[in-house]
Amino acid sequence: MDTTVYRPVDLPPASSARALTKVYGRGAAAVHALDGVDVDFAAGAFTAIMGPSGSGKSTLMHVLAGLDQATSGTARLGDTEITALGDDALTRLRRDRVGFVFQSFNLLPMFTAEQNILLPLELAGAPVDREWFDTLVETLGLGQRLTHRPSELSGGQQQRVAIARALIARPDVVFADEPTGNLDSRSGAEVLSFLRRSVRELGRTIIMVTHDPTAAAYADRVVMLADGRIAGDIDDPTPESVLMGLDALRALDQPVVR
Ligand SMILES: Nc1ncnc2c1ncn2[C@@H]1O[C@H](COP(=O)(O)OP(=O)(O)O)[C@@H](O)[C@H]1O
Ligand SMILES: [Mg+2]
């Protein structure tokens, strides 16, 4: 198989935020979870959003994915301004254009692995592209597991099913929130390798939230958040460069300049 995926450099971002804010609560109790975020996420790239606990990673992902409303500013998926959409349009956008991978797998326990993977197509009334299904199953090493129910699978296998499910409808972007948070380090490494392969070999776009420098280093780029603001940006990260970035954040308590 030719595994080269052509990635044009002038493609518009798959996802972006401008002056994005999210405030929880009001008055003295107000929490500025996002405080004026400007960021672009390239199509065909694997980007990690990293930062300390409470820095706004999950909130940013939820607003970018249309799971949560912003307080002000704009979020776009491709050229669709999702911060301007009503509930019905948001529901359709999440169903048709976005894939999700969560820390807790979120598979349906009474369905087999295959049924779980095909669920998004079922819900959308979309036909199954068998070639794509087979490619995902092969890439994710799930060929021997398709008739198993989630309770008969290891955590790593369940998360690989969840990844196949997130990719089956070829969404514009897959958002993953701490996808290795419930896995031992070996299964975690496996899942991260599969996420990277789905970008490099299958041309997908993945935005992954993590607080783990080793996990972040699997990405093509790391965007760092601190106190609801963009605080750093690392291309071709290694665990060492990500750790250095985090240390710099702590030491300076102000934006890191590359
Ligand atoms: N539903 C909520 N209600 C009130 N505060 C929230 C809510 N969700 C998140 N927060 C607050 O917003 C900030 C950012 O949270 P979050 O995005 O979950 O951070 P992270 O994912 O980086 O740990 C934190 O201070 C958190 O306590
Ligand atoms: Mg979080």
Pocket-forming residues, ligand 1, beta carbon under 6 Å? 24-25, 31, 33, 51, 53-59
In the chain, domain spans: 45-61+86-253
The answer to whether residue 8 scores a pLDDT higher than 90 is: no
Where does the pLDDT of residue 251 fall: very low under 50, low under 70, confident under 90, or very high at 90 and above?
confident
Percent of the chain with pLDDT over 90: 88
- Encoding tokens for residue 37? 């975020």
Out of 3.10.129.10, 3.65.10.10, 3.40.50.300, 3.90.550.10, select the CATH number for domain 45-61+86-253: 3.40.50.300
Nearest CA to ligand 1 atom 18: 58
CA–CA dist 194, 177 (Å, integer): 15
Half-sphere exposure of residue 158: CA atoms within 13 angstroms, side-chain side: 21
| Ligand having the closest approach to the CA of 57 | 1
**Cβ contacts of 123 within 8 Å, gap of 6 or more:** 95
- Encoding tokens for residue 38? 């400007």
Nearest CA to ligand 1 atom 25: 54
More confident residue, 163 or 254: 163
| Ligand having the closest approach to the CA of 225 | 1
pLDDT of residue 5: 60
pLDDT in tens, 218-234: 999 999 999 999 999 99
Percent of the chain with pLDDT over 70: 93
Give me the phi and psi of 68, to 5 degrees please. Answer: -145, 150
Centre of ligand 1 from the C-alpha of residue 59, in Å:
6
What's the mean pLDDT when you consider all of the chain? 92
Centre of ligand 1 from the C-alpha of residue 57, in Å:
8
